[in-house]
Structure 1
Amino acid sequence: MGDLDEAIVLRREALELCPQGHPDRSTYLNSLANSLSTRYKQLGATADLDEAIVLAREALELCPQGHPHCSTYLNNLANSLSTRYKQLGEMADLDEAIVLGRDAVDLHLPSHINLSSSLKHLASALCTRFMQLRQADDKKSLFSLYAQLVHAPQLVSSTDLSAARAWIQVAEEFQHPSTLLAYEASLRLLIHHLTALPPLPQHLIILKKRSASLAVDAFSACLRRGARVRAVELLEQGRSVFWSQLSRLRFPLDDVMASGPAGRLLADEFMHVASLIHIALDSPGADQHGRLCHLNLQLQRIIINIRELPGLSRFLLPSLFSELQHAASGGPVIIVNASQYGCDALVILPDRDPVHIPLQITQESVRDLSETLHASTNRAKKVNVTRELGSLMRNLWDQVVSPIVDFLLTALPLQSRIWWCPTAEFSVLPLHAAGPYRKGQQNLSGLYISSYTSTLSALIRARRPAPSNTAGDGKRFIAIGQANAICQVEPLSVGTELANIGQHIGGLASFTQIEGPESCISRVAEELCKTEWVHLACHGLPNRTRPFESAFALHDGHFTIEQIMRCEPENPQFAYLSACHTTVGDEESPDEVIHLASAMQFAGFRSVIGTMWVVDDGETNKITSTFYKHMVDESGCLDHTRAAFALNKTMKSVRIPLDQRILYIHLGA
């Protein structure tokens, strides 16, 4: 507060040195008014707010028609008057704020950087007056203002996003017909905003603030209005935004290059700029942010030119349902969504519209289940864990999974494969393990074979065929173990685990075992880039507040998600992560699905086995040994598409505690 008080004193002195008639007097008046408004918000002294209004009026009076700051001064005075209305309830203040706000909006061109700010403040004032007087024109005007955000420019600011979120809030409150349009505009603005940012992990902080619950609430809004296909499209657009932003740098350009000479030239430019972005990402320095922003703008211009080519109008644009539906080609994908407005399941099938299954559970109850699970699986002395987990799995079955299974039984043969696509708080719950857990009754694992996917696009990518130039090569299998990582308790069975895997793999693949001092970061990164199959047996180190620092503990340090992201394997097929917490992501942004298993998927591995909590080192050897027996197909070959089947078969046959039997999950194809 001392700093603010001193700033006000200094600005008063500056204003005194700027007499009537001075060309900059309006600027100093506005600056002092802003500081006084800030102090009012801190201390609530009405005298500060009154003086701020007097100064803001004088600044506006000194601002001639056409002055570049005129709209700013109008907004500042309007905001202070709105604030005083909220304190004193004088309708004259609110009326004047609305008049000034209209003047500010009228001064803006559609592409003006401050337009969304002016729209937001004017709409807020109109909403306040509507709630008091119930004049229909005010309600109509405020939604007409928000509708202008649909035409916001390509270069999006955080203010645009804030205005769009305000539109959603008011639209939901009034159940207005523009609600879906508000969500669509918000998601489009979010994607444009993030696309213009350098793809750095620190921008996840921005993502958290500006996309929190946006996709899941949009999904819920669509279902409440019967728009099931649109629900899928918007959820896909708004989830895993960070991974999608990074994936665009690896987008296959075959269609662009095949379009003709102009396409080949643009594809070359795209790859050149993308390579420069990769170099800039690996070259931190004082000017890294500026270089990356410049390169991102170059990339955007190239993308716009590519979209003008015949047949490429949707290059890197959000996918349509007709494309996303291909994710269900191997079996239904079940989106399970938790929103403040309700919880729902939507079953995606390959040959019909999605099937909506409302769930009789609240978001708060889902959160309670996830907290109970976290407490049970992290307790040091797991005396009653089996009983607690059994109860939790029954609750999960009764409230979430059972109504979904009731539908699946009418549409799908038993023992078919299904894919779970959970959102928000559902993403940390073991849906695959739900069941009545009573004698004579089948749990889900006895009915269907479960896998997971973060998005529909991720599953489609996982099913892409191997590159033609590697299809004939023999499989390479790398088994990596680290029993003596610095500052970690030694996993007792790593050597035995790797040796047993080697016996099962035998002549089925070129097998390489790396452990001890050889399992260093540089060696593991190198091997990942040239292997099809990898098994990692080491400590997993989740970081729930800085997820890109989640890591595998290797001989010489932490092999982080950031480092995994830089690996570009030639033909990756399967990864088994025999480590703790490999599917644990950011606690504040679960929909981004940033964890060790998803990083392996981003690197290209089509099929991944991960873990939801702590692995019991004493049980891993039984599990992995049995698992690899089932990974061999009828012709005696390793097949990465058998992973879900092998995991399901393994957990039915090994005798291990419940918490270990349900912690392993399969992701991908």
Structure 2
Amino acid sequence: MLRSRFDRSRNFSDITEAISAQRRALELTPSGHFLLPGRLSDLGNSLNARFQSTGDLSDITEAIATQEKAVKLTPDSDSSLPWRLSNLGIALILRFERTGDLSDSSRAISALELARDMIPVGHPNLPSLLSNLGRTLEVHFDRTWDPSDLAKCISARQKVVELTPEDDEEMPSLLLDLGATFRRRFEQVGNPTDSDEAITLQLKAVELTPEGHAGLPHRLDAVGNALSARFDMTRERSYIDAAISKQQKAVKLTPRNDPSFPGRLINLGTSFMRRFEMTKSPSDIDNAIAAQTKAVELSPNDPVLSTMLGNLAVSLMCRFEQTGSASDLAAAEAAHQRSVDLIPDGHGSQFALLRNIANASYIRFNKSGDSRDLEKCISQYESAATCRVGTPYLKLKVAARWARLLRRHCPHSPQILPAFDMALGFVALIAGLEQTVKGRYTRLQSDSGIALEAAAAACSLDRPDKALEFLEHGRCLVWSQLNNLRTPLDELRIVDSSLADRIADISKQLEYTGSSRATAHISMSLSERIALEDESQSHLKLAQQWDDLLQTARAIPGFENFLKPSPSSTLLHHLPASGPIIVINVDEGRCDAIALLSGVDEPFHIPLPNFSLNKAKKYRTDLKILLRSGGFRLREKEASTVLADEPAARPIKPLNRARRDGDVIHGILRGLWNDVVKPILDALGFSVHPTSTEVLPRIWWCPTGAMSFLPLHAAGIYTGSKSESILDYAVSSYTPTVTAISNRVKNHRAIDKSVSGLFMTSQPNAPGATSIPGTTKEVDSIHSMGRGNGKRVLRLDGGDVTASDCLKHMENYSSVHLACHASQDAADPLQSRFLLHNGSLDLATILQSNLKNADLAFLSACQTSTGEEKLSDEAVHLAAGMLAAGYRRVVATMWSIGDQPAQEVASSFYNYLWSHSDGNRDDGFDGTRSAYALHHAVQQLRHRLDNSESSLLTWVPYVHFGY
């Protein structure tokens, strides 16, 4: 009764008298008495209450000891055990919030989770316990930055909302807490769905709160924070305007003596500062500084004040950058120094403080030119990147900034390469296996290009080996992850078969979950969202188990580098003997080629000083406009019809006559020849025209960035007396990465003769797409030719084959020819698909199949290797997807193809393959010479045509990928 009165009156003598009475009761309770555990727990709760008023650590330490004893003395069968565990968890988390000892928060989570698991479904006190668990997980996350803490917190808070009646007075607070957790995860992971959830939930909390309610200011402030965080990611003005509006109202409704008032001022000031970054409006930065200064004046000296001072210092430096005011500079430096003095090492705000000091130092350097300011800036960025706290996404930003500043201002610094190494490590973390494939690609869109910058820096330092590693480790991340999940485990199985089996099992589950897990959307019910979060937690656990299993494997002697990115030296051990792999890197500052040759121990660096990123972008843009305006979007001649290959066309300004007269495609191919391909051939000694296709060497092109969209395989001069091209010197193939080829060389194996053969299908009338009757003739020709050569071939057309049939035949035939429409999904590449009369066949389904004997895939469809500009280094096209699915080689198209040329190329291609089978007349099929076959087929078509623009655009799109 005394404690209850204290809860209402806050009369300190009440809680002191309550504790005295409870201690006396314990003294009078015999050891072993059935009431002893309950009395211990009651005393612990009273000590908790007094600690929350006084902050006396002796009270909370005694509370924990008594709660531990109460739990120990309570039988497992006692229905009170869950509540005593809960009380223990609450006491532990109270001490954690004061001391920061992670062992307390970990023990609190364990106690509360155990209590949750003991409580029967439907118990009226379950929501309260789940709320305590959610809060505990949230504060634990503030120190650990462990994504599983946030996932569990969301799950607990969702279930509290589900178990609480909609008209319950606590519902707005519950929605607010859940929304705040989604916002935290959005800030960590950057998934827009989490931001949508946060804003929706918190707006609903505000809607349910009547005007004049004491909780309204807090709820308005929370919505403002969610909107401000969304603006920080999207830079859409409407979000920050709405955030400021909500936060201004929150500040207006908060009494000046309310302990929350300074925090709401600081949040409002931060939003004004964010808007200033966009608008450069003096009123925005003045409002930011005014709000933040007032917040600092009203706050006690503690770590929270440190964060406020850091935010104020940032705003002052922003105004100093604009006005040059010495007083702003002095005030910012004083605020930063005071912030440093207040914050303990390892505090959750330490990362932001280091980053802010670095930003301020760079602003000062730009004003003063003093090298000491630059040195401090670079040092602070390094400290922030290596700080114990901070999300991978934020650390990526500062690590990249650190590397870029070193490259710009200290171009010979030995720290440049380690800085880029660290940045690329964070890129891999933000696109981790715990996310869906679509989620990974979404994150990678905003951070593309870092690997190319790193490689350019390495080339500047004459380290082509490091440049190669940067490009291999920082590009095509999702396909590399998939390759790791599918890596043969034969060697590990010899040493530890059980571990190999567990890795194989987790691999399959991760691959399936990454491509199949649904994404939350606004129309989902709460129960559906809870189920989705449960799936998300399971996915996260799988990813953590995968990491743990890799660490176990790497502890085995000889497996220290198991599934780690390969160093340059390893890549050079497994190169094809028939020709070099040429990696081409293009960056703002320079363009370089790195040639890898079998038998040569070092990468061969070939600078390309006459080419640039601007040229690559111009060529790409010119080519895109040419293809759109010239009617080359479709497979057939009716250029007015839109295919499923791409979305409905947006109006594009056609090339003007002057540019058309300049023959754009000839200019692009000539520029690529003169500035890129010919210098590479000269450096490699490719100076003599071979006499026939049979003795041409191979070249594997591995372009990066904007180069990925350019036809290097057709570079040349096609007019005048001195015409020459790459086709005269080598047979070209492409590869997304060097690893994709080196793995094929390393793991070369013969095709199982029982599945050696060709499955083909034509789909002339897929629903929703234009008719392509030429596909039937194309497959007619191939089928007749294969049967005439005694080959094992199967043909099924149109409605005679379903998607599942097609997949089954792909498993039973080593090679496949798909003459159809294709649809590329850049946002979620695993949903890219081949369109059939009866449904469609997507990459996700193909990847989940057993294609261990896959050899050749001929994709006679439009734009199957086009890619996506926002993900130029992720190879998000069907050709790369088929390589990832297991096919060793793929024939694809860079843009749309015509029916008649498609028939000619396919017929010539297969005729070459079957006529160059070394007299082998068995019924198998071998795609080993597919690159030569495509080269021959394209040459046949090319020589039948003239060298006009339209003729070039007819044969140039055909490309070969893989080994």
TM-score by length of 2: 0.64
1:75 matched to 2:75:
no
1:148 matched to 2:432:
no
Q: CA deviation at 1:465?
A: 4.3
* Secondary structure of 2:495's aligned partner: coil
Q: CA deviation at 1:133?
A: 2.4
Alignment-derived partner of residue 675 in structure 2? 399
1:15 matched to 2:262:
no
CA distance in 1, matches of 2:565, 2:344: 28
Query: Is contact 1:462–1:605 with CA below 8 Å preserved after alignment?
Result: no
The aligned amino acid for 1:257 is R
Within a 5 Å distance, the mapping from 1:155-174 to structure 2 comes to 156-174=391-409
* Secondary structure of 2:817's aligned partner: strand
* Secondary structure of 1:553's aligned partner: strand
Alignment-derived partner of residue 507 in structure 2? 274
Within a 5 Å distance, the mapping from 1:353-372 to structure 2 comes to 353-359=602-608, 360-372=610-622
Listed one character per residue, the Cα deviations across residues 176-208 of structure 1 (whole Å, up to 9, x for unaligned) are 413322211111111122225413223312101
CA RMSD of the aligned region, Å?
3.0
Q: For the structure 1 residues 283 and 539, does the alpha-carbon distance in structure 2 shift closer, same or farther, using more than 3 Å as the test?
A: same
CA distance in 2, matches of 1:328, 1:154: 42
Which segment drifts farther, 538-547 or 177-186?
Answer: 538-547
CA distance in 1, matches of 2:279, 2:672: 48
Alignment-derived partner of residue 716 in structure 2? 435
CA distance in 2, matches of 1:464, 1:403: 30
Query: Is contact 1:8–1:36 with CA below 8 Å preserved after alignment?
Result: no
CA distance in 1, matches of 2:340, 2:868: 39
CA distance in 2, matches of 1:318, 1:149: 25
Which of these residues, 576, 579, 583, is aligned with residue 335 of structure 1?
Answer: 583
1:127 matched to 2:362:
yes
The aligned amino acid for 2:454 is A
CA distance in 1, matches of 2:630, 2:602: 47
Which segment drifts farther, 32-41 or 273-282?
Answer: 32-41
Alignment-derived partner of residue 707 in structure 2? 426
Q: For the structure 1 residues 94 and 202, does the alpha-carbon distance in structure 2 shift closer, same or farther, using more than 3 Å as the test?
A: same
Query: Is contact 1:386–1:659 with CA below 8 Å preserved after alignment?
Result: no
Q: CA deviation at 1:165?
A: 2.1
Alignment-derived partner of residue 797 in structure 2? 515
1:195 matched to 2:489:
no
CA distance in 2, matches of 1:368, 1:25: 54
Which of these residues, 524, 532, 556, is aligned with residue 286 of structure 1?
Answer: 532
Q: How high is the sequence identity, in percent, across the aligned residues?
A: 27
Query: Is contact 1:547–1:585 with CA below 8 Å preserved after alignment?
Result: no
Q: For the structure 1 residues 514 and 194, does the alpha-carbon distance in structure 2 shift closer, same or farther, using more than 3 Å as the test?
A: same
Q: CA deviation at 1:172?
A: 2.9
Which of these residues, 233, 237, 241, is aligned with residue 473 of structure 2?
Answer: 237
Q: CA deviation at 1:510?
A: 2.8
Listed one character per residue, the Cα deviations across residues 406-454 of structure 1 (whole Å, up to 9, x for unaligned) are 1222699941111111111111111111122244644211211111111
Within a 5 Å distance, the mapping from 1:27-42 to structure 2 comes to 27-38=263-274
1:475 matched to 2:711:
no
Which segment drifts farther, 606-615 or 292-301?
Answer: 292-301
Query: Is contact 1:236–1:456 with CA below 8 Å preserved after alignment?
Result: yes
CA distance in 2, matches of 1:564, 1:206: 24
Q: CA deviation at 1:645?
A: 1.0
Within a 5 Å distance, the mapping from 1:188-267 to structure 2 comes to 188-195=425-432, 197-210=434-447, 212-260=448-496, 264-267=497-500
Listed one character per residue, the Cα deviations across residues 465-490 of structure 1 (whole Å, up to 9, x for unaligned) are 4668x635351321021011112222
CA distance in 2, matches of 1:289, 1:117: 28
The aligned amino acid for 2:558 is G
Q: CA deviation at 1:277?
A: 2.5
Listed one character per residue, the Cα deviations across residues 143-189 of structure 1 (whole Å, up to 9, x for unaligned) are 22222356456984211111122223322331341332221111111
* Secondary structure of 1:584's aligned partner: coil
Which segment drifts farther, 614-623 or 437-446?
Answer: 437-446
CA distance in 1, matches of 2:743, 2:380: 40
Q: For the structure 1 residues 58 and 388, does the alpha-carbon distance in structure 2 shift closer, same or farther, using more than 3 Å as the test?
A: closer
TM-score by length of 1: 0.90
The aligned amino acid for 2:513 is A
Alignment-derived partner of residue 349 in structure 1? 597
Q: CA deviation at 1:612?
A: 0.9
Query: Is contact 1:376–1:385 with CA below 8 Å preserved after alignment?
Result: no
CA distance in 2, matches of 1:471, 1:5: 66
Q: CA deviation at 1:33?
A: 3.3
Q: CA deviation at 1:293?
A: 2.7
Alignment-derived partner of residue 735 in structure 2? 453
Q: CA deviation at 1:47?
A: 5.7
Q: For the structure 1 residues 146 and 352, does the alpha-carbon distance in structure 2 shift closer, same or farther, using more than 3 Å as the test?
A: same
CA distance in 2, matches of 1:502, 1:307: 50
Alignment-derived partner of residue 423 in structure 2? 186
The aligned amino acid for 2:381 is Y
Within a 5 Å distance, the mapping from 1:302-341 to structure 2 comes to 302-326=549-573, 328-330=575-577, 331-341=579-589
Q: For the structure 1 residues 540 and 9, does the alpha-carbon distance in structure 2 shift closer, same or farther, using more than 3 Å as the test?
A: closer
1:659 matched to 2:953:
yes
* Secondary structure of 2:904's aligned partner: helix
Listed one character per residue, the Cα deviations across residues 364-383 of structure 1 (whole Å, up to 9, x for unaligned) are 11222222222333444579
Query: Is contact 1:531–1:570 with CA below 8 Å preserved after alignment?
Result: no
Which segment drifts farther, 56-65 or 175-184?
Answer: 56-65
Query: Is contact 2:580–2:699 with CA below 8 Å preserved after alignment?
Result: yes
Q: Structure 2: which 5+ runs fail to align?
A: 1-237, 519-530, 633-656, 691-695, 946-950
Q: Structure 1: which 5+ runs fail to align?
A: none
Query: Is contact 1:481–1:519 with CA below 8 Å preserved after alignment?
Result: no
The aligned amino acid for 1:661 is W
Q: For the structure 1 residues 92 and 335, does the alpha-carbon distance in structure 2 shift closer, same or farther, using more than 3 Å as the test?
A: same
Larger radius of gyration: 2
* Secondary structure of 2:379's aligned partner: helix
Q: For the structure 1 residues 33 and 279, does the alpha-carbon distance in structure 2 shift closer, same or farther, using more than 3 Å as the test?
A: same
* Secondary structure of 1:529's aligned partner: helix
Query: Is contact 2:574–2:743 with CA below 8 Å preserved after alignment?
Result: no
Alignment-derived partner of residue 94 in structure 1? 329
Q: CA deviation at 1:555?
A: 1.1
Query: Is contact 2:826–2:876 with CA below 8 Å preserved after alignment?
Result: no
CA distance in 2, matches of 1:524, 1:573: 16
* Secondary structure of 1:328's aligned partner: coil
The aligned amino acid for 1:636 is N
CA distance in 1, matches of 2:758, 2:345: 57
Q: For the structure 1 residues 66 and 317, does the alpha-carbon distance in structure 2 shift closer, same or farther, using more than 3 Å as the test?
A: farther
- Kindly indicate whether structure 1 or structure 2 has the higher relative contact order, using CA contacts under 8 Å at least 6 residues apart: 1
Q: For the structure 1 residues 398 and 109, does the alpha-carbon distance in structure 2 shift closer, same or farther, using more than 3 Å as the test?
A: farther
The aligned amino acid for 1:188 is G
Within a 5 Å distance, the mapping from 1:493-504 to structure 2 comes to 493-504=774-785
The aligned amino acid for 1:247 is N
Alignment-derived partner of residue 962 in structure 2? 668
Q: CA deviation at 1:622?
A: 1.8
CA distance in 2, matches of 1:151, 1:301: 23
Q: For the structure 1 residues 156 and 249, does the alpha-carbon distance in structure 2 shift closer, same or farther, using more than 3 Å as the test?
A: farther
CA distance in 1, matches of 2:426, 2:432: 10
Q: CA deviation at 1:139?
A: 2.1
Q: CA deviation at 1:355?
A: 2.1
Which segment drifts farther, 234-243 or 152-161?
Answer: 152-161
Which of these residues, 888, 898, 919, is aligned with residue 635 of structure 1?
Answer: 919
Q: CA deviation at 1:15?
A: 2.9
Query: Is contact 2:430–2:440 with CA below 8 Å preserved after alignment?
Result: no
The aligned amino acid for 1:286 is L
Query: Is contact 2:355–2:384 with CA below 8 Å preserved after alignment?
Result: no
